[in-house]
Structure 1
Amino acid sequence: MKFDELDDKMRVYENSQDRCVLPNMYIVARIDGRSFTKLTKEVHKFKAPFDEKFRDLMVETVKHLMNCGFNVIYGFTESDEISLLFHLKETVFSRKTRKYISILAGEASAKFSSLLGDAGAFDCRLSELPNKQLVEDYFRWRNEDAHRNALNAHCYWRLRKDNFSQSEATSKIEGMSTADKNELLFQYGINFNDLPNWQKRGIGIYWIDSKKESFNPKTKEKVIVNRRELFTDFELPMRDDYNQFIKEIIERSEKPNH
């Protein structure tokens, strides 16, 4: 059998599960750390419940993903997860889902591992959303998940520091209302509202236009140039304001030259 015949024969099996995201569907990728509790709490012992070094590793991983060949208009990270919103007209790899999933998981794992100096693996899944409202709701969901997780994490680790066992701390906060959890922290002298917003709302990364001073070697003069760069936002809004924030990012991306 000639190679071309063999190639055609076998590629049918390799490509049989290929599917593409339909045009005019918004693509959102969620990339999650695999076994990160063990990696960050046992192997590398980052501070609990939040560690600025780990936060910065995740932010740099998001920035890498937004610069690795896809047209990503917004990135969001909380804890060990990342969400990416692609431009509506993104067509790279013909919108094949297997390409997006495998490349994003691989790029995230490689970048994070190189920054950490140890192996850290991520998985990836895609949401295919038919309208802007669902995109807004997706990111509001992750934003509010960050708030819930932050409250639980602060309660859990405060109890652990007070010599509660893992099971005792988990059992104590299980089923508690939000008000009760806030009261628990207050009893330890912690006002949850005063904690850093990046812990409670997650972190947004998006493109902004900026002006930078540069040098023209031909005229030997200083000039001002327009540049597009990534901005890291540690003060994201919440609830309806966050919906509006996401809506504006989408609408800005749909203008010419974006």
Structure 2
Amino acid sequence: MKDYEIYSNLQVPKGSNIILRLDGRKFHTLAKTLNLEKPYDSNFAKLMIEVCKDLFNEFSPKFIYTFSDEINILLSEIPFSNRVEKIDSVFASLASSSITKHLNDFFDLDEIPLISFDSRIIPIPFNDINTYFKWRQDEAWRNCMNAYGIWVLKKDYSSKIANEKIKGLKSSDIHNLLFDKGINLNNLPVWEKRGIGFYKKNKKIKGFNPKTNSDTISYRNYLFTDCNLEMFSKDFFKTINLKHD
């Protein structure tokens, strides 16, 4: 019967750089259940931060980037003998269990809804990693503009008409619409515009060596949550020490 498991040995090519992209399944329904604030809910962002921390602590990737209900994971090592089925299923299930675990830390629910993520593997050349994350960050910015645009339009129009109107607006039109309502997109929290990043940083540790009777300095890695991301560039990824293994 093992022969029927025709995809079980499908593997990512050895030596590949891979990104896993997780997306929340039916999170528009979850948003209604949680009664999320519009256009952005800080508690939901905090919830996603906890999920990303759990993923980072479990698998020690090079970098994680999240916005909305999307999580992008750049792996430092490919686990599970490179098996595609195993990687996709375990990462998606861990994210699902993590968000369920932390849900009531931020939302008061009598009954926990069923929550799931899907997962896809993206093999990518090292030199295109910056391009990929820049693409996703551009999407985060578009989401931000549209979220605020539709939020403002719904104050004057029905949901159906507001959605129709936002589709016909250019970025400059949304800027002007919001500015007329007293909203300057430049003044929004950075995490709303650019998403949130997770990576390792060095922390200086001061100590004392009793044998030499002198102060000592050492450095320790720790997981840093960056809610004030700069625009992604090659220089950014050099700064976080993203090296080609």
TM range (shorter): 0.7 to 0.9
- Offset at residue 205 of structure 1 (A): 0.7
Which of 54, 75, 81 is the matching residue for 1:94?
81
Question: How many aligned positions are there?
Answer: 236
Question: 1:47 — aligned with what?
Answer: 37
Question: 2:121 — aligned with what?
Answer: 126
Question: 1:5 — aligned with what?
Answer: none
Residue correspondence of structure 1 range 234-245 to structure 2 within 5 A:
234-238=227-231, 242-245=232-235
Question: 1:38 — aligned with what?
Answer: 29
TM-score by length of 2: 0.87
Question: 2:133 — aligned with what?
Answer: 139
Cα distance, 1:16–1:55 mapped onto 2, change above 3 Å: closer
State how far apart, in whole Å, the 2-side matches of 1:102 and 1:122 are: 10
State how far apart, in whole Å, the 2-side matches of 1:215 and 1:113 are: 43
Q: How big is each residue's C-alpha offset from its partner over 1:73-116, in whole Å with a ceiling of 9 and x where there is no partner?
A: 100000011000011xx142111111110010000000001111
- Pair 1:82-2:71 in alignment: yes
Residue correspondence of structure 1 range 156-171 to structure 2 within 5 A:
156-160=150-154, 162-171=155-164
The runs of at least 4 aligned residues of structure 1 exceeding 4 Å deviation read: 213-216, 221-225
Which of 65, 83, 95 is the matching residue for 2:55?
65
State how far apart, in whole Å, the 1-side matches of 2:175 and 2:190 are: 16
- Offset at residue 37 of structure 1 (A): 1.0
State how far apart, in whole Å, the 1-side matches of 2:75 and 2:40 are: 28
SS of the residue corresponding to residue 225 of structure 2 reads strand
CA RMSD of aligned residues (A): 2.5
Question: 2:165 — aligned with what?
Answer: 172
SS of the residue corresponding to residue 66 of structure 1 reads helix
The letter of the residue matching 2:66 is T
SS of the residue corresponding to residue 29 of structure 1 reads strand
Q: How big is each residue's C-alpha offset from its partner over 1:103-146, in whole Å with a ceiling of 9 and x where there is no partner?
A: 100000000011114232111111011x2232111101100000
Q: How big is each residue's C-alpha offset from its partner over 1:184-220, in whole Å with a ceiling of 9 and x where there is no partner?
A: 001111011111111011111101121345799xxxx
Q: 1:73, 1:253 within 8 Å by CA — same for their partners in 2?
A: no
State how far apart, in whole Å, the 2-side matches of 1:245 and 1:51 are: 31
TM-score by length of 1: 0.83
Gaps of 5+ in 1: 1-9
SS of the residue corresponding to residue 155 of structure 1 reads helix
- Offset at residue 250 of structure 1 (A): 7.4
Q: 2:206, 2:217 within 8 Å by CA — same for their partners in 1?
A: yes
The letter of the residue matching 1:19 is L
Question: 2:107 — aligned with what?
Answer: none
Q: How big is each residue's C-alpha offset from its partner over 1:24-49, in whole Å with a ceiling of 9 and x where there is no partner?
A: 21110001111111111x21111111
Q: 1:31, 1:82 within 8 Å by CA — same for their partners in 2?
A: yes
- Pair 1:200-2:190 in alignment: no
Q: What percent of counterpart residues are identical?
A: 36
